[in-house]
Amino acid sequence: MEAGLARAVLLLCLVDVLHAFAVEEKEDVFKSMACPAFLMFDSAAYLAGMTFELPCKCKPKEVSSVVWYFQKDMNTHKTTVLSDFAGTLTVDSGHIRAGSSVLKRFSIRMFSLIVFQAQVTDSGHYLCGTEKGDFFYGYDVDVQPTKNIVVAFVDRGQHVQDDYTEELFSLFTTFWDWTRCDRCGVRGEQRRVGLCYIQSAELNPRYRSAVPNVTSCGSRAVPAHFKRQVRRRPPEVAIQSCLTPCLKEEVSEEGVQAISNVISKLGEKPWTPRVPTQFHMQPVGSALIIACPGAHPEHAVAWDKDSVQLYRYHYLVSVNKTMRVFIDHGNHLHIRRIRVSDRGTYVCWREGEMVAGFRLSVTHQHRRRRKLNDPETIYAVKVIGWSYGLISIIFIIIHVFRSCWRAFKRPVGM
């Protein structure tokens, strides 16, 4: 018992030493970088749904904790405080929802601000400072939407957008590196995200970027008279097929899977993935969204249903207008109006490795009563309203036409 106590004490001492080393290393960074006399903004761009981190790169030596502020625009006085005034706020990213406000999606760790599942409304200025309102460092964050994102499937011969050039500026897409292959041992896919950027000599010099006279299209450095043309260019993503071998341990599991598939065909117990599997029951007609554990929008994520691969060239959102089962750009699997045929085991891959399973059972429970704020109810009311209005307009036009025809056809003098 004394030996165990000694090991515990040694472990605690080691943790304290590592923490002190991290703090000292961070302080050394602050000592080597002086804060600018005039507040500037570093430009940064992300795709909606991504998680980003903003480090506070400088602060006075006497400041032991920082406070982060969010300001939509420099011309407004409305400022949101993103801190508990102790610089220690932490968030469990597993319980964060995409629709939550930024106050529920941020965390401060070692003077850095982390924003989870960024939204377009998170675009704006982020300022690192003190509780009194003294600012040390600033960022201009541009979160570009995925609503009208342009998708190019390279295997189909599709190409990315061409550059657009005007007299005073030019628009182009800056692509990130290709992700890893999202599956191993079988054909997989990899993505390449591209964000919209602008090059012009008329950008606001208060905003700094890696390349002079270049910034993201949603940056506050872009002059107001450029923004109408800039908004027309959406971000884009390129997708292509890939094939990568599995590790030795994973190859053996693939062999077990092949043998199990043969056994299942003979009427024996069907194959189940050797990963943690969650069981879920869902009523017919309901909707379901499944997230891959530990995955972020920038990760390479793939989905399978039993032995069928759900490739993006067929299941990516907006590939066609009547999709009931699809994968969004945040790597979530959506199932609308669940049917009995949807039951089965859904498996997700993360960065080329199978990580989790989701066994779905479908029940014939009585469907809940519709509410007026349900999306289906709102859609039905709109369709009925538009149909009634269209029929009324046609009815009025016909009667007006008939009245005019009778008036012209009537003999003169009668």
Q: Which two tokens stand for residue 66?
A: 């920082």
Cα–Cα distance measured from residue 276 to residue 357, given in angstroms and rounded to the nearest whole number: 6
Say what the pLDDT of residue 297 is: 84
Mention every residue, 6+ apart, whose C-beta is less than 8 A from residue 353: 184, 250
Instruction: Read off the DSSP letter of residue 259.
Output: H
Separation of alpha carbons 360 and 141, rounded Å: 39
pLDDT along the chain (414 residues), means of 10: 44 41 44 67 91 86 82 78 58 46 74 87 90 86 91 91 91 93 94 94 91 93 89 92 80 43 43 79 91 88 93 88 88 92 94 92 70 69 86 90 79 54
Structure tokens given for 83? 């801190």
Query: Whole-angstrom Cα distance, residue 114 to residue 105?
Result: 8
**pLDDT for residue 352:** 92
Amino acid at 265: K
Task: Decide the pairing of beta strands 150-153 and 106-109.
Answer: unpaired
Which among 321, 99, 327, 354 is positioned nearest to 191, based on CA atoms? 327
Tokens of 202: 């008329």
CA distance 331 to 317: 10
pLDDT at position 129: 86
Q: What is the pLDDT of residue 411?
A: 62
What is the per-residue pLDDT for 309? 93
The identity of residue 270, as a single letter, is P
Full-model pTM: 0.69
Burial profile 104-139: b = 16 or more Cβ within 10 angstroms, e = fewer: ebbbbeebbbbbbbbbeebbbbbbbbeeeeeebbbb
Residue with tokens 């009563």: 369
Calpha distance 121→101 (Å, rounded): 9
Cα separation, 217 vs 196, whole angstroms: 6
CB 343 within 8 A of CB 335: no
Q: How many CB atoms are located within 10 Å of the residue 212 CB?
A: 11
Secondary structure of residue 143 in the 3-state scheme: strand
Sheet of 333-335, strand order? 288-290, 333-335, 325-327
